[in-house]
């Protein structure tokens, strides 16, 4: 693996994030991993996932903020894969909640100010970028 932290690698990672609207999101439940599919939002390398504060995910993050995200596989072959190790916090930033809100969320929430609607703010510490035919490249914070 090639370890690097350069602008070109960050741009490649952001292109993969831009190309994917869904990710696999893993938390720790007790001492076991728990994975689910989530809608993916991001601003640069900062990742956002939305959920209800009544879900297991929120409780699991309070116990252990370490998470893992897999991006780039949607059931068919894809040339670029990201494996992201990160820490997650629950954001109370109303501007962020409004920015990420979309009408598809109406089936679960009354609106961007619904008290059950929360944003998980995910800050990567390690990203493994794999592209078909190349050795993985590593980004570290």
**pLDDT tens-digit map of 29-64:** 999 999 999 999 999 999 999 999 999 999 999 999
The tally of domains found in the chain comes to 1
**pLDDT tens-digit map of 103-120:** 999 999 999 999 999 999
What is the chain's Cα-based Rg? 15
The residue among 35, 72, 64, 52 whose CA lies nearest residue 115 is 52
Cα–Cα distance measured from residue 130 to residue 119, given in angstroms and rounded to the nearest whole number: 28
Which residue range(s) make up the domain with 118?
3-140
Tokens of 131: 């592209």
User: Residue 32 sits in a domain of what CATH number?
Assistant: 2.30.110.10
């Amino acid at each position: 693996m090639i370890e690097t932290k350069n602008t070109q690698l960050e741009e490649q990672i952001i292109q993969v994030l831009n190309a994917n609207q869904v990710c696999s999101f893993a938390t720790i439940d007790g001492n076991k991993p728990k994975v689910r599919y989530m809608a993916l939002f991001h601003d640069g390398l900062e990742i956002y996932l939305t959920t209800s504060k009544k879900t297991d995910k929120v409780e699991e993050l309070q116990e252990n903020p370490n998470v893992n995200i897999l991006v780039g596989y949607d059931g068919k072959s894809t040339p670029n894969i990201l494996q992201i190790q990160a820490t997650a916090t629950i954001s109370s930033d109303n501007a962020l909640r409004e920015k990420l809100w979309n009408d598809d969320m109406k089936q679960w929430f009354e609106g961007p100010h619904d008290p059950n609607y929360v944003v998980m703010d995910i800050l990567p510490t390690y990203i493994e970028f794999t592209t078909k035919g190349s050795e993985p490249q590593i980004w570290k914070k």
